Amino acid sequence: MMLQYVDYFIEHLRVEKNASPMTLTCYRTDLNQFFDYMADDYEIPSEELKKDVINHQSVRRYLGHLQMRGLSRATMARKLASLRSFVRYLCREAVLDGNPIAVIATPRQEKKLPRFLYPEEVKILVEAPDTGSVMGMRDRAILELLYATGIRVSELVALDLNHIDTRERMVRVLGKGNKERIVPIGSQAVQAIDTYLIKSRRYLLAKNSNRSTGALFLNRFGSRLSARSIRNVINKYVEEIALNQKVSPHTLRHTFATHLLNGGADLRSVQELLGHVKLSTTQVYTHVTNERIKNIHKEKFPRR
């Protein structure tokens, strides 16, 4: 039955592909949702679904169902990508004789420019925490580091003390696929991190009964911060400063890349700093900088 192959596939991703826990959860959720829909469609328990339920007609019906639910094209594309990976696995394992969904096209994506903050907005945001308090010093270090490096929130929460060298102004980041990269950090971020390490972290660590965690950033119980906690930190200060837009950790990543390109950095260097495998992933930021160039031309060119 098909559900057992979902378990085999997830284990394959974990062992062979070294996929992150978040990736595994997303794949399992996407596949379970597909088979739940198939079970309703065929009016049988999901445990009894066989391999013939995966065909181009059933998948087209599923995509139509997702569209009727109002899901975005990006979400539909991701769910289809999960199913495609699963089907390719089944083909390699000789469970399927051929790929029955190879002819299905990915939903055309809407082109959205990444949101970013202007330098004045970033300054207000990162300086919002009260650095006279233990939590405020920690939060300032978090915000400074996110903006200074453009690292993903998952990469931030995975940082250990031995990953950062404030003397050399470098942070060692373990990215997607366990690929390591070295990212430089500026003086203001270094100062915020040093302040946190000297004056704040030891108080937070004292709340941990084991007092042995190597995590760089700790929560109020002295344990490693979660990605959700980082988002809550950002939401707190966005609300405090009444910033009139939604800001996520990824917004600071977009801001980092946009400000580098606006400052004259080349695309390849930004690609390496962000940890993008493909240059095309980084090229989305050129649309942002092109918009800036258009606005400058419109404002400054005398014959318009």
Question: 198 and 208 in contact (C-beta within 8 Å)?
Answer: no
Answer yes or no: do 176 and 51 share one domain. Answer: no
Residue 73 lies in a domain: yes
Instruction: Choose the final residue of a domain: 28, 57, 92.
Output: 92
Residue 56 to residues 25, 49, 104, Cα–Cα distance (Å): 25, 16, 7
- Domain-embedded: residue 52: yes
Question: What is the separation of C-alpha 271 from the centre of its chain, rounded to a whole number of angstroms?
Answer: 15
* Contact status, residue 275 vs residue 181, Cβ threshold 8 Å: yes
Predicted pLDDT of residue 115: 82
Predicted local distance difference test score (pLDDT) of residue 159: 96
Domain count, the chain: 2
14 is a domain residue: yes
Same-domain status, 143 and 204: yes
The answer to whether residue 41 is domain-embedded is yes
- Distance CA(175)–CA(276), nearest Å, equals 9
Q: What CATH number is attached to the domain comprising 79?
A: 1.10.150
In-domain check, residue 103? no
Is 80 found in the same domain as 127? Answer: no
Give the CATH number, domain containing residue 163.
Answer: 1.10.443.10
Tokens coding 156: 């931030």
**What pLDDT is stored for residue 295 in this prediction?**
65
Shared domain for 233 and 277, answered yes or no, is: yes
pTM above 0.85, yes or no: no
Q: Which domain holds residue 7?
A: 2-92
Q: What pLDDT does 246 receive?
A: 86
Q: Are residues 123 and 256 in the same domain?
A: yes
How many helices (H) does the chain have, and how many strands (E)? 14, 3
Cα→Cα distances 6→21, 27, 38, 45, 138, Å: 15, 9, 14, 16, 41
Q: Identify the domain boundary among 92, 127, 153.
A: 92
**What whole-number percentage of the chain has pLDDT above 70?**
91
Q: Are residues 74 and 134 in the same domain?
A: no
pLDDT of residue 72: 87
Has residue 157 been placed in a domain?
A: yes
- The 10s digit of each residue's pLDDT in 171-186 is 999 888 788 999 999 9
Per-residue pLDDT at 304? 56
pLDDT at position 300 is 61
CA atoms of 165 and 171, how far apart (whole Å): 6
- Alpha-carbon distances, residue 270 vs 7, 119, 267, 277 (angstroms): 37, 18, 5, 12
Active-site residues: which are they? Answer: 152, 176, 250, 253, 276, 285
Q: Domain check: are 80 and 141 in the same one?
A: no
The DSSP secondary-structure symbol of 107 reads P
The rounded distance, in Å, linking the Cα atoms of 65 and 67 is 5
Q: Are residues 264 and 135 in the same domain?
A: yes
Query: Could you count the other beta carbons within 10 Å of the beta carbon of residue 130?
Result: 12
Least Cα distance to 53 among 65, 42, 40 occurs for: 42
Residue stretches of the chain with pLDDT short of 50? none
